[in-house]
Structure 1
Amino acid sequence: MITFQLIGSCGTVTTPSDVKDFLTAHLAPADRIEHVTATAGASADRIDLVFFALADTEAEALLTAREACLRALDRAPELIAWRLSGGATGDGPGIH
Structure 2
Amino acid sequence: MITMRLVGSRGATAAPDDLRELLTAQFDPADRIEHLWARAGHDQIDLVLFVLADCEAEALLTARAACLRAVERAPRLTAWHLSDTADGDGPLPR
Q: TM-score higher than 0.5 here? A: yes
Q: CA deviation at 1:14?
A: 3.6
Match of 1:50 in 2: 48
Q: Which has the higher helix share?
A: 1
3-state SS, counterpart of residue 25 of structure 1: helix
- Whether contact under 8 Å (1:10, 1:78) holds in the other structure is no
> Counterparts of 2:13 and 2:70 in 1: how far apart (Å)?
15
1:76 pairs with 2:74: yes
TM-score, normalised with respect to structure 2: 0.81
Aligned CA RMSD, in angstroms, stands at 1.4
> Counterparts of 1:14 and 1:30 in 2: how far apart (Å)?
25
- Whether contact under 8 Å (1:51, 1:65) holds in the other structure is yes
- Whether contact under 8 Å (1:10, 1:79) holds in the other structure is no
**Unpaired segments ≥5 residues, structure 1:** 91-96
Choose 57-66 or 18-27, whichever is displaced more. 18-27
Deviation readout 1:2-53 (Å, 9 max, x if unpaired)? 0011111335x443xx221110000110000001110134xx1111001100
Match of 1:6 in 2: 6
Q: Structure 1 residues 78 and 55 mapped into 2: Cα distance closer, same or farther (>3 Å)? A: same
Query: Runs (4+) of structure 1 moved beyond 3 Å?
Result: none
> Counterparts of 1:31 and 1:58 in 2: how far apart (Å)?
14
**Unpaired segments ≥5 residues, structure 2:** 87-94
1:59 pairs with 2:62: no
**How many pairs were matched up?**
83
Q: Percent same amino acid at aligned positions?
A: 61
Which residue identity is paired with 1:40? A
TM-score, normalised with respect to structure 1: 0.79
